[in-house]
Amino acid sequence: MKSIVLKILLISSLYFGCKEKENTEKMEEKTYTYLALGDSYTIGEGVESSGRYPNQAVEILKSNNLIFENPTIIAKTGWTTDELDKGIEAAGIGGNTYDLVTLLIGVNNQYRGRSVSDYEIEFRKMLTKSINFAEGNPKHVVVISIPDWGITPFASERGTDQQKVAKEIDAYNAAKKSISDELGAHYIDITEEYRKIGASPEMVVEDKLHPSDLVYKSWAEKLAKVILEEISF
Q: How many CB atoms lie within 10 A of CB 24?
A: 9
Residue spans of the chain under pLDDT 70: 1-28
Contact 227/66 with Cβ under 8 angstroms?
Answer: yes
The domain limits of the chain are 1-29, 31-230
Taking each helix axis from N to C end, the angle separating 53-63 and 213-230, rounded to the nearest 10 degrees, works out to 50
Burial of 94 (0-12, 13-18, 19+ CB in 10 A): exposed
d(CA 41, CA 163): 22
CB of 101 closer than 8 Å to CB of 137 = no
Question: Which pLDDT value is given to residue 23?
Answer: 44
Which pLDDT tens digit goes with each residue over 22-73? 444 444 579 999 999 999 999 999 999 999 999 999 999 999 999 999 999 9
Q: What is the CATH number of domain 31-230?
A: 3.40.50.1110
Cα angle vertex 30, ends 213, 63, to 5°? 35
Q: How far is CA 174 from the centre of its chain?
A: 19
User: What's the pLDDT score for residue 25?
Assistant: 43
pLDDT at 8: 47
Note the pLDDT of residue 3.
54
What predicted TM-score, i.e. pTM, was given to this entire model? 0.88
**How far apart are alpha carbons 164 and 167 in whole angstroms?**
5
